[in-house]
Chain A
Amino acid sequence: MSSAAVTTASASPASDAGKSILARLGAAFVGRLVIIIPYVWLLFFFLIPFVIVFKISLSQTAIAIPPYTPALDFSGGISGFLAQLKQLSLDNYTWLTQDALYFNAYVTSVIIAAVSTVLTLLVGYPIAYGMARAPATIRPTLLMLVILPFWTSFLIRVYAWIGILKPEGLLNQLLLATGVIHQPLIILNTYTAIFIGIVYSYLPFMVLPLYSALEKMDYSLIEAAKDLGCPPTSAFWKITFPLSLPGVIAGCLLVFIPAVGEFVIPDLLGGSQTLMIGKTLWNEFFANRDWPVSSAVAVILLLLLIVPIMLFQRAQARAQEMDR
């Protein structure tokens, strides 16, 4: 905006000069504010909190309010600061490595998230492909139908599955009535239920980027391949899939990253037997009231996810460049 203002000012007649300078100053000031306000907000409410989490993960658990002894209080001057540096401890991190529970929770979470991501891709790809090939007139409606569940509560959609997956639930009733099974299946409170929950809840996140990649594709390429004698399957793997790859990557990251730290799905559908790190962090915080250990759990989780998050940002930036 400011560069446009400069060109306007230089082009305007002399009588307007005063106004143009004012406008220019105004534009510069407003331009600054446009950047500064959201910047400061995010620094304060997004970045600084992580620094605090890191700080508290290095402090000791204490029975107090808040339940930790503060690490790094700058009120004591340099000498006080140095004294405090000695008190910083990696105890919480050592604790995490000593108890196999945490290690297992991290590994299980990553595996569950990875498997669910692949499953979501397998379910989502045919839907996105079908949508992209649909007549142009009904595509907006289909798109709206994919987005709509995203607007309805996550909690409610997960809750809906309890009634379906319970031993006396609707799925078992249906399967027993049709004679497919003779014993009710135990699905609720198992890892299977978590997979179903994640695939179901995150499906729109997978379908949308896939659809936008597939919709842009030039389908005459497929026809050309067909004319040249390429069978449909190899045409898919040689043309369609590579061209949809940006959508595949974006969709997989959008599912994988939040799924690793998922809490609601393992808690409601996984029961007490299943282990995931988001649930561990929650219990550490709300049940054990151990703030330093839950902070340490969060720091490690963040370190685990930092590479996928950076990949996600790069994919976003690239997509933005392509849209320009």
Chain B
Amino acid sequence: MNATWSRFNITSIVLGFAFLYLPIVLLIVFSFNESKLVTVWGGFSTKWYVSLFHNQGLMDATWVTARVGLISATVATVLGTLAALTLTRYTRFKGRVLFSGMVFAPLVMPEVITGLSLLLLFVAVGLDRGFLTVTLAHITLTMCFVAVVVQSRLITFDRSLEEAAMDLGATPVKTFFQITLPVIMPAIVSGWMLAFTLSLDDLVIASFTSGPGATTLPMKIYSQVRLGVTPEINAACTILIAVVAIGVVIASLANKRREVQRQLDEQAAQRG
């Protein structure tokens, strides 16, 4: 394998990753800039982080975003997991084509269309725009991503485990909670995290469906970016990136540990 990993392959990977990461690294570096200019280095300083915490508007927006993210990701994970079960386990029922269409289309649908259509729905049913409407919109968008993540795990799932449990007298519901759920749990967790970060990031759909008093962090960042680029925004972005990066690393480490444990268990089972 190593012989075929040529210099060309290594070069393209290094250049590709440099392209992916350099802008983010520069953004983080300039959040520690003493100067107000984001492009001229004026010495190391953490003053933008201090002023960030005194920016009440930004803090309020962070709180709104965190609540929307937590609630919508949790509901979306339940709905998305149900949708994934439907897609993999019920291969024929009336309207299956429509259902899978409704699960996959939001993944690629331009956000302006999703945002506008949801807003018009909320107006039509008389819901006031605000915290609730953003949360509902985010649930709808992110449940489809959860469904895809969980579905890909369910496809490779060994169903003989479930059959064995039911042969031994477990009810289908009990089988699901005792056998299926623990096995697909890593996919559900990463689905939840994906839903949470998508909700954290979303600007377009939130702008359409949110109302006064429910300004999310991306909306706040966007309105400040339009006024000009400042190191304070760089600082806010750096914190967001750090939160997400730490979350992803912890999740993947936990996943790895579980994987190692599983392999040990399997080896023990084979020996015993």
Contacts and interface: CB of A to CB of B under 8 A. Distances in A.
Contacts of A316: 100, 104
A11 B1 CA distance: 51
A164 interface: yes
B120 A52 contact: yes
A159 B237 contact: yes
Given A47-B102, A163-B39, A313-B104, A130 B26 contact: no
Contacts of B17: 127, 145
A112 to B, nearest CB: 13
Interface in B31-83: 38-39, 79-80, 82-83
Interface string A40-57: 011111111110110010
A180 to B, nearest CB: 17
Interface string A251-289: 001100110111110001000000000100110011000
A148 B248 CA distance: 8
Contacts of A8: 166-167
A127 B39 contact: no
Given A135-B2, A305-B110, A168 B39 contact: yes
B214 interface: no
A142 B10 CA distance: 12
Interface stretch (A79-87, A96-104, A150-158, A241-249): A150-158
Nearest to A308: B108
Interface in B1-20: 1-2, 4-6, 8-10, 12-13, 16-17, 19-20
A320 interface: yes
Contacts of B163: 4
Which secondary structure characterizes the binding site on chain A? helix
Specify which of B19, B116, B203 lies most central, judged by the most chain A CB atoms within 10 Å of its CB. B116
Contacts of A49: 117-118, 120-121
Nearest to B197: A151
Given A26-B172, A159-B237, A261-B110, A313 B101 contact: yes
**Size band of the interface chain A makes with B:** 35 or more
A224 interface: no
B241 A30 contact: no
B140 interface: yes
Interface string B111-146: 111001110110110000000000011011001000
Contacts of A43: 102
A34 B5 contact: no
A1 B201 contact: no
Nearest to B118: A49
A261 B136 contact: no
B189 interface: no
Interface in A8-52: 8, 11-12, 16, 23, 26-27, 30-31, 33-35, 37-39, 41-50, 52
Interface of A: 1-2, 4-5, 8, 11-12, 16, 23, 26-27, 30-31, 33-35, 37-39, 41-50, 52-53, 56, 66, 123-124, 126-127, 129-131, 133-136, 142, 144-146, 148-149, 151-157, 159-164, 166, 168-170, 173, 200, 203-204, 207, 219, 253-254, 257-258, 260-264, 268, 278, 281-282, 285-286, 291, 294-295, 298, 301-302, 305, 308-309, 312-313, 316-317, 320, 323-324
Interface of B: 1-2, 4-6, 8-10, 12-13, 16-17, 19-21, 23-24, 26-27, 30, 38-39, 79-80, 82-83, 85-86, 89-90, 93, 95, 98-106, 108-113, 116-118, 120-121, 123-124, 136-137, 139-140, 143, 147, 151-152, 155-156, 159, 162-163, 166-167, 169, 171-173, 175-176, 193-194, 197, 200-201, 203-204, 207-208, 218, 221-222, 225, 229, 233, 237, 240-241, 244-245, 248, 252
